[in-house]
Amino acid sequence: MKLKAVTTTTSALPGPRPASEARRPSAPIHLQAAGTSLVLDTTGPRLPRVLHWGRALGRADVEELAAIAAVSVRPVVTDSIDEPLPVGVLAESATGWSGTPGIQGSRRGVGFSPLFTTSNVDVAATPSQGGRVVISAHDDAAGLALELTVELTPAGIVGVQASLTNSGTDDYQLDHLSLNLPVPTAAAELLDFTGRHLRERAPQRHPFNLGSYVRSGRRGRTGADATLLLIAGEPGFGFRRGEVWGVHTAWSGNHVTYAERENTGVAMLAGGELLTSGEVVLNPGGKYGTPQLLGAYGNGLDEMSSRFHEYLRARPQHPRTPRLVALNTWEAVYFDHDLATLKALADRAARVGVERYILDDGWFRGRRDDSAGLGDWFVDDTVWPDGLHPLVNHVRALGMQFGLWFEPEMINLNSDAARAHPEWVMSNGTRLPPSARNQHVLDLGNPDAFAYVLERMDALVGEYRIDYIKWDHNRDLVDAGHPRAGTPGVHDQTLAAYRLMDELRERYPSLEIESCSSGGARADLGVLQRAERIWASDCIDPLERQSIQRWTGLLLPPEMIGSHVGAPTAHTTGRTHVLDFRAGTAFFYHFGLEWDLTSASETDLVALGRWIELHKSFRELLHRGTVVRADHADPAHWLQGVVSKDGSEALFAFVAMQTGAWAPPGRIRLPGLDDELRYEVRLLHPVDPPRRHGLPAFPAWADHVVTLSGAALAGPGIQAPALQPEHLQLIHVVRTARP
């Protein structure tokens, strides 16, 4: 399509905005915050380059910054260009860079290799709180103007974003625009994530070799196989050791994130939107905005992760009220919507302490299975003759909020909407793409389709005073175009989905949105500018969830990750687990239930109520504190926890993922505490303590409250209990008043 307006993809990074002064600095710019320094060289005519991104430099003066720039100049080596040019935040082929060009496009082949000249640098910085640098540049021969924004937030997150304007007199086709952040030679190992439905965010490590390592997402959504972060670090880095640098491409459509190392020694992490040929054509004066590339540095994965968490928690839209315990009806009833059953489910939910009740798929016209009804967003009067009011009123009378499931971006061909408007179904214009889950994609780039969905959602949210939307997206986009024009449409679709969420949030400021997409297939910081949480996976098996949540939590704080207690036997894997393992796995996150409580025993209901009560008592700590993880020698045993900001309290979970290489499992270290403080340490048992013969086998200290310093707990540590595989134990640590 042809763009005439700025299409920025994310809101500005938070942070102070002191009065800025337009200038061309004569020395590199130093931004510093939260133990991170960013040194940016904007002194030359070319685009800015990053001289240093990593460990804080302290009070580096002008002379030292100039010296850093001087010692960063690469020498001329054999078989290279005579004057090596630095690689900027946007890598240009015209500088001699032979890796992936940061910009690709042309005017029917002309102007294929831009070379930008910096014309203005605008700096706004606050000591120790980061700042923002805006660089204006142009290439008059190519007819392009560029605005680059580079920021360091108070949390220590680096954000880079670009806006490209066609300043020429004819159309410019943009094929690619990505930005990068360089990493040092020491970053010789990569960690990224892949996965599939029901097994999202599986880690994979490999050397950071010469060449390109590219993670492309062409699914029209983030994708279950997408890498949430691409991390480079010192070989052998872990949660508590080794320097690491990680980046995230904040975009919910087609995207690319890649690591690249050239034989010149230059290495970078980069990302941007992945454009289909002809998808973005700029008219004269037209503008295109990239997604933000967000990066964090840390000494160990935990420190890097905590910077992302603090950045997200600092946003004005981040949820600050307690994350309500929810019950979602999907695995309890599926499409079998019966008022009496759903009321009975609500009764039991309220009894055990649930605070929000969410009615899942199956409530709208013709929706008795997944083959029909999507797009017909009217309550099915054959199932609900009085509308949803009887259930909504019953839920609210029990003191719970009410939430509702939607899949606004999708349509079944077997629906009134598709029969009336076949032109609303995304395609290349000559054929329908293959269906998935019996559904197709609704073209939200079509103004009529967008207006229809907005009107229906607005009407339902208003009529039922809906508190919460579970916003689903259950298929990849294939051949996703505007059917009448026959042009690609993923870019437009992504922006339209953002606009739809934004419009609903503007009309209903207290409305909360969950980003669900076949589970965790849309988990990115583009959609999470608009949603309060993600549904991490459709798999509620706690063993699988331990891994999914561990790695999702590198980017997202616990309160943004939905985690539910499922039935004793998991619907997706067939594995059976005890309640303590199921509840303990969900405990640290946005806690909820996905279980037919009408089938639960009285014993289980009592125990579940105790777990929910305990979760509520720790909710402030869990959803405001600092997440920590330990590097345990035996991969069969994991330890994670949350430490309060003042270091006065912590809660840990010691997890037996499988049988260990040795028994008992040895000492475990409890990281993140204040070395100088002393703490009381005790085991927590939400229900009755387990038996003491055989396994689990508890060390002698487990029968008492022991007092140790933070240094001792993080150093020699404590003897861990010997647990049965697929079990866990909570450990509570509280600062003692005793010296």
User: Which tens digits make up the pLDDT trace of 517-527?
Assistant: 999 999 999 99
Instruction: Return phi, psi of residue 365, to 5°.
Output: -55, 130
In a domain, 228, yes or no: yes
The C-alpha atoms of residue 458 and residue 466 are separated, in whole angstroms, by: 10
- The answer to whether residue 320 sits within a structural domain is no
pLDDT for residue 6 is more than 70:
no
Task: Look up the domain containing 642 and give its range.
Answer: 627-735
d(CA 461, CA 634): 50
Residue 344 has pLDDT above 60, yes or no: yes
Number of other residues whose CB lies within 10 A of the CB of residue 535: 27
Q: What is the pLDDT of residue 74?
A: 87
Average pLDDT of the residues in 679-685: 97
Beta-carbon count within 10 A of 100 CB = 18
Q: Is residue 53 part of a domain?
A: yes
The yes-or-no verdict on residue 20 having pLDDT over 70 is no
Write down the pLDDT at residue 691: 65
Residues 492 and 513 in one domain: yes
- Choosing from 472, 492, 541, 596, the catalytic residue is 472
Distance CA 445, CA 491 (A): 9
C-alpha distance from residue 612 to each of 182, 325, 579, 615 (Å): 45, 8, 12, 5
* N residues, the chain: 739
Per-residue model confidence (pLDDT) at position 83: 84
- Say if residues 337 and 383 touch (Cβ distance below 8 Å): yes
Tokens of 549: 């949540």
Q: What is the DSSP string of 547-604?
A: HHHHHHTTTS-GGGEEEEEE-SB-TTT--B--HHHHHHHHTTSEEEEES-GGGS-HHH
**Which residues does 617 contact at the CB level (< 8 Å), separation at least 6?**
none
pLDDT band for 1, please (50, 70, 90 cuts): very low
- Residue 15: pLDDT band by 50, 70, 90 thresholds? very low
**Whether residue 35 sits in one domain with residue 101:** yes
Instruction: Give the pair of three-digit tokens for residue 732.
Output: 């509570």
- State pLDDT tens for residues 405-454: 999 999 999 999 999 999 999 999 999 999 999 999 999 999 999 999 99
Strands 637-643 and 649-656: antiparallel
Q: Considering the chain, what percentage of its residues have pLDDT values greater than 90?
A: 92
Q: Would you call the peptide bond into 184 cis, given omega within 30 degrees of 0 as the criterion?
A: no
Q: Do 597 and 346 form a contact (C-beta atoms < 8 A)?
A: no
Q: Does pLDDT of 280 surpass 50?
A: yes
Same domain (yes/no): 302, 162: yes
Domain boundary among 619, 642, 668: 619
Q: Please state whether 285 falls in left (phi above 0), alpha (psi between -120 and 50) or beta.
A: left
Phi and psi of 704, rounded to 5°? -135, 170
Nearest CA among 519, 439, 411, 434 for reference residue 471: 519
Residue 699's CATH number = 2.60.40.1180
Query: Quick count: other Cβ atoms within 10 Å of Cβ 75?
Result: 6
Centroid of chain to Cα 130: 23
Same domain, yes or no: 181 and 303:
yes
Is the same domain home to 595 and 644? no
CATH code of the domain containing 351: 3.20.20.70
Residue 198, token pair as written in the block: 């029901």
Comparing 277 with 737, the larger pLDDT belongs to 277
Binned at pLDDT 50, 70 and 90, residue 688 comes out as confident
pLDDT for position 13:
39
Whether residues 10 and 95 fall in one domain = yes
Q: What angle do CA 430, 433, 434 make, to 5 degrees?
A: 145
Residues 6+ apart with CB under 8 A from 282: 2, 3, 164, 165, 166, 171, 172, 173, 174, 288
The one catalytic residue among 225, 479, 538, 580: 538
Q: Indicate the pLDDT class of residue 537, thresholds 50, 70 and 90.
A: very high
Nearest to 372 by CA among 381, 382, 362: 362
Cα separations in angstroms, 200 against 197, 213, 516, 717: 6, 20, 13, 32
For residues 631 and 555, membership in a common domain is answered with: no
Query: Residue 85's pLDDT is what?
Result: 81
Kindly report the average pLDDT of the chain as a whole number. Answer: 95
**Which of 619, 642, 658 is the last residue before a domain boundary?**
619
Residue 321 lies in a domain: no
Percent of all residues in the chain with a pLDDT value above 70, rounded to a whole number: 96
Q: 453 and 592 share a domain? A: yes
Look at residue 54 and tell me if it is in a domain.
Answer: yes
* Residue 570, in any domain of the structure: yes
Q: Is residue 128 part of a domain?
A: yes
- The two three-digit tokens of residue 528, written as one number: 């999470």
Extract the tokens encoding 132: 């923002």
The pLDDT of residue 694: 74
Residue 365 and residue 242 share a domain = no
Measured CA to CA in angstroms, residue 180 lies from 26, 383, 419 at distances of: 23, 53, 46
Mean pLDDT (whole number) for 486-492: 98
Q: From CA 262, how far away is CA 314, in angstroms rounded?
A: 37
**19 has a pLDDT exceeding 60:** no
Give the mean pLDDT of 340-352: 98
- Is the Cβ–Cβ distance between 575 and 569 less than 8 Å? yes
pLDDT at 23: 59
User: For residue 304, what are its two tokens?
Assistant: 């890097």
Asked which of 292, 314, 336 is the last residue of a domain, the reply is: 314
Q: What is the DSSP letter of 702?
A: G
Answer whether residue 319 is part of any domain. no
Give the range among 4-8, 300-304, 497-501, 608-612 with minimum mean pLDDT: 4-8
Cα gap 55→76, rounded to integer Å:
28
Does residue 2 have a pLDDT over 70? Answer: no
The rounded distance, in Å, linking the Cα atoms of 326 and 331 is 14
Alpha carbon distance 241, 298 (integer Å): 9
Residue 305 in this model has a pLDDT that exceeds 50: yes
Flag whether pLDDT at 513 surpasses 80.
Answer: yes
Residues 208, 309, single domain; the answer is yes
In a shared domain, residues 508 and 611: yes
pLDDT at residue 693 in the model: 61
Lookup: tokens for 103: 């910009």
Helix (H), strand (E), coil (C) string for 647-715: CCEEEEEEEECCCCCCCCCCEECCCCCCCCCEEEEEEECCCCCCCCCCCCECCHHHHCCEEEEHHHHHC
Of the two residues 633 and 254, the one the predictor is more confident about is 254
Tell me 661's DSSP state.
Answer: S
Residues 359, 346 contacting (CB under 8 angstroms): no
Beta-carbon contacts of residue 544 (< 8 Å; ≥ 6 apart): 198, 199, 537, 572, 573
Whether the CB-CB separation of 160 and 89 falls below 8 Å is answered with yes
pLDDT above 90 for 575: yes
Q: How many domains, in total, are found in the chain?
A: 3
Known catalytic membership, residue 370: no
Residue 472 designated active-site: yes
Q: Which residues touch 158 (CB under 8 Å, ≥6 apart)? A: 36, 38, 53, 150, 151, 152, 181, 294, 295, 296, 297
CA 409 distance to own-chain centroid: 20
Q: Are 520 and 201 in contact (CB under 8 A)?
A: yes
Determine the average pLDDT of the residues in 117-123. Answer: 96
576: number of Cβ within 10 Å? 12
Kindly state the average pLDDT of the residues 667-691.
Answer: 93
Residue 164: pLDDT above 80?
A: yes
Token digits of residue 323:
């994350």
Helix (H, G, I), strand (E, B) or coil at 615: helix
Q: Please tell me the distance from the alpha carbon of residue 165 to that of residue 143, in angstroms, as a whole number.
A: 9
Q: How far apart are the first and last CA of the chain?
A: 69
pLDDT for residue 333 is more than 90: yes
Residues 296 and 367 in one domain: no
Q: Would you call the peptide bond into 154 cis, given omega within 30 degrees of 0 as the criterion? A: no
